[in-house]
Amino acid sequence: MTTLTPLLPLEELRSALGPAAAGLDDLVAQVGADPRRLDRVFPAAARRTARGPLEQHPQVLAQDAVRVALLVAAAPALDDDDLLTELRSLYRVGDSDEKRAVLLALPGAPDGLVAVDLLEDALRTNDTRLVAAAMGPHARHLDDSAWRHGVLKCLFTGVPVSAVTHLRERADDELAAMAERFAAERRAAGRPVPDDLHTVLSAATHSSRES
Amino acid sequence: MRIFDPHIHMTSRTTTDYEQMHAAGVRALVEPAFWLGQPRTNVGSFLDYFDSLVGWERFRAAQFGIAHHCTIALNPKEANDPRCTEVLDWLPRYLAKDGVVAVGEVGFDSMTDAEEKAFARQLELAVEFELPAMVHTPHRDKEAGTRRTLELVEASGLAPGMVVVDHLNEVTVEQVADSGCWMGFSIYPDTKMDEHRMVAILQERGLERVLVNSAADWGRSDPLKTAKTGAAMLEAGFTDDDVDRVLWRNPVEFFGQSGRLLLESVDSDGDAGATFEGNSILRGPRA
C-alpha cells in the first residue's frame, strides 16, 4: 500500500464543501471500494461536488481538492508503482482540470514516486493552468535547463511566478540572463515587460548571494 | 442577440473567427468530434484529437469569452476503417468528462454494416452515460439514411428527446419531426440549407425542437451563419424572444439534458474567459 498527502485534510474539505460534501463522501466510498472506479469518478468530481475557489480556503479550488482526495482514497489499495501508473493514465486521458489535479497531487506522493514526464508534458502546453501546476514542489525533479525554461514560460504566458515553488533557492545567473533576453525582445517590440521579471532577477541575485 | 452554436468545428477555425463570433453574440458552442478531412489511420490520432476538444480548444475559446463544449464519438466515415474502430473502447474515458454534452457525431455516411455497428454501439453508450446523441445524416441519399437512423434510435431505447438528427432539409425534416427527435439544421454559404430556407421552415413548423448551427469547419463555411439566421428571422417578423429561443434557449435545453454544460463563466457581456478564470486559479502560490 501507498499513501498520498491531500491538498486539504478530509474533514476540512468536507466542512469547506458544505452540502456538496455528500457528493464527496459518495465518490470517496466508491474509490475506496474499488480504485478502478477512478476512471469514472475522477472526471465527474466537479459536477458531483463543487467548482471554483473554496470560501474558507480561497487559494484552493474545490475540484482540485476533491480530485486529490479521491487519489488519497485509492492509495491504500495500491503500491507506489500502481499509483504512478494510475496517475499517468488519469493524466493521459484527462481534460485540463483533471491533468492539473494530477500535477497538484505529485508533491504529496511518496519520495520515490517521480513523474518528470508529466511535468514535461504540461510544460509543453501553453495552457496556463497546467504550466502553473507543473512548477510546484515536484518541479525539483526537473533538470536545471527544463526548470529554467519552465520559469521563462511562466513569464512568457503570464503565469505569476509565485506559482514557482523554489524560485529563490534555484534561480541562477543563467535564468537571469534568459529573463533579460526575453525582456529585451519585449522592449524592442514596444511591448510591456511583466513585473515578474524583477521577481525573477531579484531571486537570481538572492540565490547567487546565498551560494 | 445571444447565440449558442450547437455544431461548429473550431479546431479548423482562426482566432479572427472567434473574435467575429463573439462580436456577433456567440457566447457558447458545441464542437462535435468528426473527421478532419484527412482520414486518420490509428487510435492514437483520435485520442490526441479528443484531448484537444476537452483541453486546448476549450482553453482557446475561453480566451475569447466563449464557453466551449464538445461531443465525443467515432464518426461514421472512419468507422469503416478497421485500424480506427478500437477507439470505441476508449470512448467511456472521454464520455465521463465535464463539458462533453453528447455522444456524436454518430450516424451514417455510406450506409455500410461497419457504420451501422458503430452507430448502434454508440447509442448504447449514450444510454449508459445518460447523454444525448448527435446524429449526422449522410450528404448522399439523405432520405434513406435518415429513415434507417430513426429505426436504430427507436431500437436503442434512447428517448427521442435525447437525440438531435442533424443536417436536415425540406425533404428530411418531416420524418424527424414525427419521431420526436430534435431537428438540427446546418446553414451553409451555398448548397444544402441557407438562412432564408431556414426561416421558411420555422414559419411552417414553429420553433419547437429546432437547433440551428453553422457547422463551420475546414470547408467553405461561415461561422456567423447562426447570427445571420437570427437577422433573417427578425426581418421575416419573428420577435427577439423567438430568436433567443432558437439560438440560445433551445440548445441549452437540449444539451442541458447532459448535466454537463459549462455556462457559469458566461455573463451578458461575455467578458469572463479563461484569462479571468486562469487568474483566479493562479491567485496565490500552490505550495
User: What are the boundaries of each domain within chain A?
Assistant: 1-114, 136-211
pLDDT score, position B273: 42
- Residue B157, domain CATH: 3.20.20.140
pLDDT score, position B141: 86
pLDDT score, position B265: 77
Phi/psi of residue B231, nearest 5 degrees: -65, -40
Cβ B278–A46 below 8 Å, yes or no?
no
Query: B130 is in which domain, residue-wise?
Result: 3-264
Cβ A39–B90 below 8 Å, yes or no?
no
Q: In this structure, which amino acid lies at residue B152? A: L
A201 Cβ neighbours under 8 A, 6+ residues apart: A176, A179, A180
- CA of A79 to nearest chain B CA: how many angstroms apart? 23
pLDDT score, position A183: 97
- CA of B259 to nearest chain A CA: how many angstroms apart? 8
Please list the pLDDT of chain B residue by residue as tens digits (287 residues): 999 999 999 999 999 999 999 999 999 999 999 999 999 999 999 999 999 999 999 999 999 999 999 999 999 999 999 999 999 999 999 999 999 999 999 999 999 999 999 999 999 999 999 999 999 998 888 889 999 999 999 999 999 999 999 999 999 999 999 999 999 999 999 877 999 999 999 999 999 999 999 999 999 999 999 999 999 999 999 999 999 999 999 999 999 999 999 998 776 554 444 443 333 333 332 22
Residue B93 falls inside a structural domain: yes
Per-window interface: B 190-219 vs A, CB < 8 A: none
Helices and strands per DSSP (H, E), number in chain A: 12, 2
Cβ B282–A129 below 8 Å, yes or no?
yes
Q: Where are the beta strands (DSSP E) in A30-133?
A: 53-54, 57-61
Point out the least confidently predicted range of A110-119, A188-197, B105-114, B273-282: B273-282
Q: Which of A39, A53, A165 sits opposite B287 (nearest CB)?
A: A165
| Nearest by Cα to A35 from A81, A73, A85, A80 | A73
pLDDT score, position A181: 97
Residue B287 falls inside a structural domain: no
pLDDT score, position B190: 80
Cβ A51–B281 below 8 Å, yes or no?
no
Query: How many C-beta neighbours within 10 Å does residue B210 have?
Result: 23
pLDDT score, position B33: 98
pLDDT score, position B264: 85
Cβ A165–B281 below 8 Å, yes or no?
no
Residue B165 falls inside a structural domain: yes
Alpha carbons B136 and A179: distance in angstroms, whole number: 50
CA atoms within 13 A on the CB side of A6: 20
Which of B43, B91, B125, B281 would you mutate first to test chain A, the one with the most A CBs within 10 A? B281
Q: Which of A46, A125, A129 sits opposite B98 (nearest CB)?
A: A46
Chain B residues close to A170, C-beta within 8 Å: none
- CA of A170 to nearest chain B CA: how many angstroms apart? 16
Cβ B98–A43 below 8 Å, yes or no?
yes
- CA of B54 to nearest chain A CA: how many angstroms apart? 5
Cβ A99–B96 below 8 Å, yes or no?
no
Interface residue B83 vs chain A (CB under 8 A): no
Global pTM reads 0.92
Q: In this structure, which amino acid lies at residue B97? A: K
Residue A10 has pLDDT above 70, yes or no: yes
Residue A101 has pLDDT above 80, yes or no: yes
pLDDT score, position B267: 61
Q: For chain A, what percent of residues have pLDDT higher than 90?
A: 96
Q: In this structure, which amino acid lies at residue A93? A: V
Asked if B95 and B74 count as a contact pair (C-beta separation under 8 A), the reply is no
A65-81 residues labelled b (16+ CB within 10 A) or e (exposed): bbbbbbbbbbbebbebe
B92's grid cell: 467511456
pLDDT score, position A148: 98
A158's grid cell: 503570464
pLDDT score, position B191: 72
pLDDT score, position B285: 29
Residue B284 falls inside a structural domain: no
Residue B41 falls inside a structural domain: yes
Number of domains observed in the structure of chain B? 1
pLDDT score, position A211: 59
- The residues pairing with A53 across neighbouring beta strands, listed in sequence order, are A61
At A156-187, the pLDDT tens digits run 999 999 999 999 999 999 999 999 999 999 99
At B10-65, the pLDDT tens digits run 999 999 999 999 999 999 999 999 999 999 999 999 999 999 999 999 999 999 99
- DSSP characters over A139-185: GGGS-HHHHHHHHHHHHHHT--GGG-TTHHHH--HHHHHHHHHHHHH
ipTM of the predicted structure? 0.90
| Nearest by Cα to A74 from A28, A120, A112 | A28
Residue A112 has pLDDT above 60, yes or no: yes
Q: Which residue numbers of A have CB closer than 8 Å to B's CBs?
A: 39-40, 43-44, 46-47, 51-53, 58-59, 61, 93, 95-99, 104, 107, 125-129, 132-133, 136-137, 159-160, 162-163, 165
